[in-house]
Amino acid sequence: MVAINPDHDRLARLAAELLEHDDVDWGRMFGSIGLRVRGKVFAVALYQGGMMAKLPESEVDALEAAGVGERMTMAGRPRREWVRIPSEVDDVRWSATIAAAHRYVDEITPASDAR
């Protein structure tokens, strides 16, 4: 995998164990390359820095309230299930967010939705 930015390298390093699963791979989303489970993206290293992850709305709310992340706005609209975790946040929080995003998208993506 060619490095796009330091946060992409970080995402790849922190998700190494997930990438050992047969149903987890890399794919394109919003011009970036992100982690997918059965074809559905759950975490992306952003060009502008940080990571975007798909989580239940209540978890996005909690991360915002804790000052750890911010709700993603795309095409001028806040996205209820997408959070941006800044580059400055430590690896422990990044790893926990990646794992939570994987669990969430794995749970809501039926096996029949595979690529």
Find the mean pLDDT for residues 6-30.
Answer: 94
Closest CA to 31 of 56, 7, 14, 48: 48
pLDDT of residue 92: 97
**Which pLDDT belongs to residue 4?**
54
pLDDT at 77 over 70: yes
**Confidence band of 70 (pLDDT split at 50, 70, 90):** very high
Strands of the 77-85 sheet, one edge to the other? 24-29, 32-37, 40-45, 51-54, 77-85, 70-74
Instruction: Please give the pLDDT value at position 101.
Output: 98
| 2 or 103, greater pLDDT | 103
The residue among 30 and 74 whose pLDDT is bigger is: 74
**What pLDDT was estimated at residue 89?**
97
Dist. CA 15–CA 25, nearest whole Å: 10
Distance spanning both ends of the chain, measured CA to CA: 20
Q: If residue 11 lies in a helix (H) or strand (E), which one and from where to where?
A: helix 6-14
For the residues 12-41, what does the mean pLDDT come to? 93
List domains and CATH numbers for the chain.
6-109 (3.90.1150.30)
pLDDT surpassing 70 at residue 114: no
**Torsions phi, psi for 23 (to 5 deg):** -95, 10
